[in-house]
Amino acid sequence: MRVPLLPRLAAGDPPLLGPLLRLCALGLAQAVLAVAAARITRAGFDELFAAPAAPQLRSLLAALALLALASAGLRHLETMTAERLGHGWAHHARLALFAHLLSLAPDARLPCGEGALLLRFAGDLTALRRWLARGLARLVASGIAVLATLAALLLLAPTLALLLAVALLLLALLALGLARDLQRGAAEMRRLRGRLAQRIAERLRARRTIAAFAREGRERTRIARASARLGARILARAAAVARLRALAEAGSYAVPALVLGCGALLASRAALTPGTLITALLLAGLFAPRIRELARVLEHASAAAVARGRFEALLAAGSPRRRGRRRLPGGGGAIALRRLSCRGRLARLDLDIAAGARVAVTGPSGAGKTTLLLLLAGVLTPDGGEIRIDGAELARLRPSARRRAVAFAGEAVPLFGRRLEEMLLYGRDRPGRAELVALLRALGFAAWAEEIAAGRALRLAPQALSAGERARLLLARALLAEPRVLLLDEIEAALDADNRRRVAALIAAFPGTVLVAGHHPEALLGRGRLLRLEQGRLVEDRPFAREPRLEVVG
């Protein structure tokens, strides 16, 4: 079902027709109660004016009290139904957006930065949820209740009903005119808020750079200026909201006053009975909260219109990668590259690497070393050509098969998680605490290994670790995934002599294929094959054997 001002989700919209029909039913039920209250009031007051009697008054008040309780119960059900509707849609939309972003290539260009992207999950989804739960839902229920109540008043007092309808129409037109400023203000406010969030996120990531160059004052000034611009826009929109709410508040008082004045004039000319006048006032009083809700509905609609455009732009960004379904065939990690190209960083590369080979990938900065390894890891998507692991095309492998095929260790794929065990077992599909403990000991993390062996959660912040510690942990994560192909990017540069020997021993014991990229990758490999890249092209391919070096200590 297509709902106004809501974006269409790629995974399909959740069921909305049922809840909206329930809201229609609740609005109609409230209108029926209002009409019943009007009829009881009219009959009761006509009898009281004809022959006053205390029992009749008590019965009238008791009936009206019961109707008020029933109406309050229906209003409660309406609110809860609307909130469930809004939260259900927001949950579905949040998962759809997250799944879409994960389906894109990691290097895909998005129409907004990180700060604005977080606003999509928070601000935009909140605006759309509120429109559905507190805007559209109220509009449906209140609209049916108002129309039914007007119809009842038309039967009781046609003149007053027509007068009331004209007044409500004029009020709605004035409110719609004021709502145009709301939408323009919401769009500008959302733009400034996203830009400010992006700037704050960038500066928090660059805290070390800011401190190193003592630029705290300048960055505070820049953020203060951006915040002031946002504050001015928020105040301008608040003024537009205040005008709209003031109009609604004035209308909620003006409508009953109009009915009272015109009704009194008609009653003075015997065109209305006292009971009919009181009934008309009662029905007019029921319009007051609905009129106030009109302002809130328009506020939510203006915010939702802006949020929908931003949300749809994000859903339309990029082309989702096809999810592979093939299993990984038997083999030991043989690699075949055919005419592999990637954004000018690699040019039509053809290469065959035997299973179990040790390959050093070297070359000057910008030669395409890291790009090649990221393509083999499936992180980057090639512009052309194909990658095969043991005869299977990498792009067609199912996720579990790709995890068993290749694993990457390098700063380009950082550690992820809150606990050390979670970080290092991220690529593993089966329990592996014993293997983790043994590997940590082999890499020189004996104290951490004892903590994990004892079952204690060890929380670490990757950014607080040294470059050498991160390099070893990245290698541990890759090895624990038990891949056929191990890809190591620039890890030797962060290792001292002792840790280089530890890492070299683990690489030597690895049963599959190993590719080490860097400026001196042969430092981790005893012998093997050396590939040299320059400007994305293979310019050298030869065997190598590392000669023993004399370590100078002291």
401: domain CATH number is 3.40.50.300
The sign one gets for the Cα dihedral 15, 16, 21, 27 is: positive
The two counts, helices (H) then strands (E), for the chain are 16, 10
Does residue 170 share a domain with residue 98? yes
How far apart, in Å, do the first and last CA atoms of the chain sit?
76
Residue 4's pLDDT is what?
66
Name residue, tokens 């609740």: 26
User: CA-CA distance, 428 to 336, in Å (whole number)?
Assistant: 25
What's the CA gap between 498 and 135, in Å, rounded? 65
pLDDT at 549 over 80: no
* Ranges 48-62, 128-142, 289-303, 442-456, most confident: 442-456
Last residue of a domain, one of 286, 315, 344: 315
Q: Please tell me whether residues 292 and 221 are part of one structural domain.
A: yes
pLDDT at 67: 84
Q: What is the pLDDT of residue 182?
A: 81
The position carrying tokens 């690529």 is: 427
The CA distance from 399 to 102, in Å, is: 13
Question: Considering the domain boundaries, does residue 129 fall inside one?
Answer: yes
Contacts of 82 (CB under 8 A, 6+ apart): 19, 23, 132, 133, 134, 137, 138, 141
Per-residue pLDDT at 547? 55
- Beta-strand ranges (E) seen in 36-142 are none
Task: Please state, in angstroms and rounded to a whole number, the distance separating the CA atoms of residues 375 and 340.
Answer: 9
* Confidence band of 264 (pLDDT split at 50, 70, 90): confident
Most confidently predicted of 116-125, 241-250, 401-410: 401-410
Residue 551 pLDDT > 60: no
Task: Check whether 291 has a pLDDT greater than 60.
Answer: yes
Q: Give pLDDT, residue 2.
A: 58
Question: Of 284, 315, 346, which marks where a domain is finished?
Answer: 315
What would the pLDDT profile of 518-530 be if each residue is shown by its tens digit? Answer: 988 888 898 899 9
**Which of the listed ranges 165-179, 264-278, 365-379 does the model predict with the highest average pLDDT?**
365-379
How many structural domains comprise the chain?
A: 2
Same domain, 499 and 467: yes
Q: 270 is written with which tokens?
A: 């015997």
For the cut 80, the answer to whether the pLDDT of residue 318 exceeds it is: no
Final residue of a structural domain among 281, 315, 349: 315
Task: Name the more confident of 87 and 45.
Answer: 87
Say if residue 38's pLDDT is above 60.
yes
Per DSSP, which regions of 275-391 are E strands?
335-342, 346-353, 358-362, 384-389
Q: Which pLDDT score is estimated for 333? A: 94
My answer on whether 302 and 341 are in the same domain is no
Together in a domain, 306 and 384: no
Q: Are residues 175 and 310 in the same domain?
A: yes
- Alpha helix (H) ranges present in 383-432? 399-405, 420-424
Question: Does residue 255 contact residue 290 with C-beta atoms inside 8 Å?
Answer: no
Element (H, E) at 516: strand 513-517
Structure tokens at 164: 């009331």
Q: What is the DSSP letter of 459?
A: B
Domain limits at 346? 335-545
355 and 291 both lie in a single domain: no
Asked if the structure places residue 396 within a domain, the reply is yes
456 & 525 share domain: yes
> Region 477-506: what's the mean pLDDT?
93
The rounded percent of the chain whose pLDDT value lies above 90 is 34
Contacts made by residues 301-304, CB under 8 angstroms, sequence distance 24+: 301/5, 301/131, 301/135, 301/179, 302/179, 302/182, 302/183, 302/185, 302/186, 303/127, 303/130, 303/131, 303/182, 303/186, 304/5, 304/6, 304/127, 304/128, 304/130, 304/131, 304/135
Q: What is the average per-residue pLDDT within 453-469?
A: 89
Angstrom distance (rounded) from CA 504 to CA 486: 13
Using pLDDT thresholds of 50, 70 and 90, give the confidence band for residue 553. very low
Q: Looking at the domain assignment, is residue 325 inside a domain?
A: no
Q: What is the mean pLDDT of residues 264-289?
A: 78
Question: Do residues 298 and 439 share a domain?
Answer: no
Verify that 118 and 249 share a domain, yes or no. yes
The three-state (H, E, C) secondary structure of 48-100, written as one string? HHHCCCHHHHHHHHHHHHHHHHHHHHHHHHHHHHHHHHHHHHHHHHHHHHHHH
Q: Is the dihedral of CA 459, 461, 466, 470 positive or negative?
A: positive
Of residues 184 and 200, more confidently modeled: 200
Short-list 248, 261, 247, 244, CA closest to 163: 261
Q: Give the number of other Cβ atoms within 10 Å of residue 139's Cβ.
A: 21
Residue linked to tokens 């692991």: 389
Which has the higher per-residue pLDDT, 462 or 372?
372
Q: What is the pLDDT of residue 445?
A: 94
pLDDT at 95 over 90: no
Tokens of 161: 């009903």
For 333, the 3-state DSSP assignment is coil
With H, G, I as helix, E, B as strand and everything else as coil, classify residue 543. strand
Residue 411 within any structural domain of the chain: yes
Predicted pLDDT at 554: 35
Helix (H) or strand (E) run with residue 407 in it: strand 406-409
In this structure, are residues 417 and 423 in contact, taking their beta carbons and an 8 Å threshold? yes
What is the spatial distance between Cα 239 and Cα 191, in angstroms, rounded to a whole number?
19
60-81 burial, b at 16+ Cβ within 10 Å, e below that, comes to: beeebeebeebbeebeebbbeb
Report which DSSP code applies to 323: P
Which percentage of the chain shows pLDDT scores above 70?
Answer: 93
Query: Is the confidence at residue 174, as pLDDT, over 60?
Result: yes
The CATH number assigned to the domain holding 59 equals 1.20.1560.10
SS3 (DSSP) at 291? helix
Name the residue type at position 244: L
Instruction: Decide which of 382 and 152 is more confident.
Output: 382
Residue 15 clears pLDDT 80, i.e. is over it: no
Within-domain flag for 329: no
Residue 275 reports pLDDT greater than 50: yes
pLDDT at 290: 79
E-strand stretches of 270-398: 335-342, 346-353, 358-362, 384-389, 392-393
**331 close to 488: Cβ distance less than 8 angstroms:** no
Please give the mean pLDDT across all residues of the chain: 85
- CB 319 within 8 Å of CB 383: no
pLDDT tens across 410-432, in order? 999 999 888 999 999 999 888 88
- The letter for the amino acid at 467 is A
Q: Is residue 50 part of a domain?
A: yes
- CA–chain centroid gap for 161, Å, is 47
What pLDDT, in 10s, does the model give residues 209-259? 899 889 999 999 999 999 999 999 999 888 988 988 899 889 888 888 888
Cα atoms found within 13 Å of the Cα of residue 488, Cβ hemisphere only = 35
According to DSSP, the β-strands at 406-409 and 392-393 are unpaired
Q: Is the torsion defined by CA of 184, 190, 192, 193 positive or negative?
A: positive
Q: DSSP per residue over 118-153, as a string?
A: HHIIIIIHHHHHHIIIIIIHHHHHHHHHHHHHHHHH
Is 550's pLDDT higher than 50? no
- Answer for the pair 192, 226: CB distance below 8 angstroms, yes or no: yes
Residue at 8 is within a domain: no
Whether 444 and 481 map to the same domain: the answer is yes
Residue 324 lies in a domain: no
Q: Are residues 259 and 397 in the same domain?
A: no
Instruction: Please identify which residue in the block is written with the tokens 């056929």.
Output: 484
Q: Which residue has the higher pLDDT, 232 or 142?
A: 232
Reading the block at residue 80, the tokens are 């809860």
